[in-house]
Amino acid sequence: MTITIYGIKSCDTMKKAFAKLDSLNIEYVFHDYKKEGIDKQSVQRWVDSLGIDKVLNKRGTTWRKLSDEQKQAADADVNKAIELLIANSSMIKRPIVEGSYRDEPIILCGFDEAALNEIFS
């Protein structure tokens, strides 16, 4: 399996992640939410592995623009939160790095330079 990095190309955090992976000579495939969207199976896998609190970015403008009713529904029901993430991929914390390296499964959420160094060095 290859490494896939999920996110939005213009995001500054994504640019840092691309630069870090490039500096470590890690080949990866980029999945751009804006061009390709995201499927429920992927979001469900991330939430199951990392937890909704890690995957759902509540600090961004997309979350702040939601109605109070939508926010409350997402807080009360993880399935509603997943539906919102699929409809509003900008609310998925970036980047998601997923795949395997040296036969070890990898799933990271958010830019963590130390974790990337540890895994890929």
Is 60 exceeded by the pLDDT of residue 1? Answer: no
- Where does the pLDDT of residue 121 fall: very low under 50, low under 70, confident under 90, or very high at 90 and above? confident
Any idea where the domains of the chain sit in the sequence? 3-120
What's the predicted TM-score (pTM) here? 0.93
Provide the pLDDT for residue 2: 86
pLDDT tens-digit readout, 108-117: 999 999 999 9
* Three-state secondary structure of 1-45: CCEEEEECCCCHHHHHHHHHHHHCCCCEEEEEHHHHCCCHHHHHH
Instruction: Please tell me what DSSP assigns to residue 104.
Output: E
pLDDT for 37-93, tens place per residue?
A: 999 999 999 999 999 999 999 999 999 999 999 999 999 999 999 999 999 999 999
The pLDDT of residue 120 is above 70 = yes
CATH classification for the domain delimited by 3-120, as one of 3.40.50.720, 3.40.50.620, 3.40.30.10, 2.60.120.560: 3.40.30.10
Q: Which residues pair with 119 in a beta bridge?
A: none
Element (H, E) at 59: none
pLDDT of residue 80: 96
Give helix 78-87 / helix 40-50 axis angle, nearest 10°. Answer: 130
pLDDT digits (tens, 9 = 90+) for 4-46: 999 999 999 999 999 999 999 999 999 999 999 999 999 999 9
Residues in the chain: 121
Relative to beta strand 96-101, strand 3-7 is antiparallel
Catalytic residues: 11
